[in-house]
Amino acid sequence: MFGIHEAIGRIIEIIQCIEHNLAVIISDGREDADDLFDQMTAMPLYDVISLVERTGLFDKDAIDIFTEIRKERNRIVHYFFKDDFGVCQDDGLDERRRRYLNKRLDEMEHINSQLCKIIDKKLR
């Protein structure tokens, strides 16, 4: 299990892998694949998800999962520590944060592994 800061770093890294893998999946086999891939890798995650949704390659449940990943990423990056400002004495706070982050990381790694399987199938 990772510590708080290591888990945050891994979450950010794995979300970037998810973004990259979505760009690979969406651009694969298209005439404009290189240009589309370059555009997607420069887009904010919200725009990537919107484009992924428009392609119809993923069902609503998958789009909802990608949307939750984006919301979770935003929460972790922008609010994770702010949410607990003013909490003076809570000996269990760091442990709860660590468990929470590691659980999110496990979920995101699973999603990324599923995207990698899709890419592997496309390459066969």
Tokens representing residue 67 in the block? 């949307």
Q: How many residues does the chain have?
A: 124
Q: Is residue 87 part of a domain?
A: no
Could you report the per-residue pLDDT of 3-31, keeping only the tens digit for each?
A: 999 999 999 999 999 999 999 999 999 99
Q: Is residue 58 part of a domain?
A: yes
Could you report the per-residue pLDDT of 27-52, keeping only the tens digit for each?
A: 999 999 999 999 999 999 999 999 99
**SS3 of residue 28 by DSSP:** coil
Could you report the per-residue pLDDT of 99-119, keeping only the tens digit for each?
A: 999 999 999 999 999 999 999
Q: Which domain holds residue 76?
A: 4-82+92-123
Contact in structure between 23 and 41 (CB atoms under 8 Å): yes
**DSSP structural state of residue 2:** -
DSSP notation for 44-93: -HHHHHHHHHHHT-S-HHHHHHHHHHHHHHHHHHHTTTGGGTT----TTH
Return the closest-CA partner of residue 15 out of 121, 107, 117.
107
Q: Is residue 48 part of a domain?
A: yes
Domain count, the chain: 1
Q: Is residue 106 part of a domain?
A: yes
Dist CA 48 CA 43 (whole Å): 6
Contact in structure between 115 and 65 (CB atoms under 8 Å): no
